[in-house]
Structure 1
């Protein structure tokens, strides 16, 4: 992982999914010797009435802020105790929407981590609204973890690659993660067998990727797969069953004025069976 500000940002809301996200981010911060920033956004439960002219007592608002601050302080203390190798743990308390706050804070983070309630699988859609918005609009790399995700330290890193610029960014990130974890990298490209010579072209592309990575990273074990399948999201979700991390690019540009997630990244996020990283191109302006 690289960047001027080595900050791992994570959203925490007190849920099981939020704790899973914080612990996941803390492990990365400890590994990369990065600062961990825990962001908690709170809203007064009756805040939406203000648009109708209603007013709630200031003392009640202060109580909600005090409770949020106490939660955040306790969470930081827990992380410092359970993950002593994290160089620095800092907290940010924001009054407002969690998704917008995380997207804005992601501008200065090398990685943003967010939790999603429930486990993956094509049987149901389980990604929450905050997770979807952050994954779709944050700046840089976003990792989404489900509350049922366990740590798979020795499992391979999987990345979807189709030759596009977005997938090239994803591949670069995936290589860095595989090297940092000391695990195998699986590069997957999916092709539609209905097209002439699709298999041959996909196999040639994967052979070229494997040769290049072997030259650039001689100590990295790489498996490059050309797989038949019209739905790359489904294929990557299946590969995620045995992956420590599944990485995909996004053709969006980050920020709420940018594009939404593409069909592959969105489909994978909803149905993956483990942590997913969505790699956005980071804009400098």
Structure 2
């Protein structure tokens, strides 16, 4: 038992070979597969091999911090914060600085359940990234987080303001973060009770989703269900609803929503048949 675990751990450590860049790549691969212990070993080994303050060292440190920050279970956000701050101090000119500042801002934003974020501090942190790194991907992500804070209020006035900014963003950007921008617009339209625009925003979000072919967990069953139910119940577009119900049935025949899809198709057929009968008369 314990001996086998110990030997496995020693073997895992001994397998961390290669230069820092190779180990960093291995760390991110393990992270994406939720193999967090392997990710930690790879990032730690990369930090050891790289010169402190170098770009490789900063990237390895960022990977290690992210793993401790976001892994579930077993997270250690305090250690992650220390690692992020170490990057800022030891590698101030590294390309990882914008992402590191964004990670620290996210830590202020995503507090444990039962706690309330200091929204003034969170907004300032995101705004700082926008101003310090204009055009950077981290700044674009910070912009979306700022809009999400406004939309979370579920207030028509703040939702309308966020809609304007998000539409400008979506029209300006070619690729990066288009899907989450449209997803946030769908939230805005839900608050504004504009279901047709909400449906279009959800479609745009789905169609611009960037798919990682190496991710073994990617699936779209929920997206098909979401689009189908909005089309059926909120907009009354039965043709579009049928399209997504049938896609779910075709692509995910064992999904828990299959029965609901079949019932929905029968329900729409029955309702349309009833309407036709009433229109044709006796």
* TM-score normalized with structure 1 length: 0.27
In our comparison, the structure showing a higher alpha carbon Rg is 2
Name the structure, 1 or 2, with higher relative contact order (CA <8 Å, separation 6+): 1
From the two aligned structures, give the one with the greater strand fraction.
1
Say which structure is richer in helix. Answer: 2
Q: How high is the TM-score relative to the length of structure 2?
A: 0.28
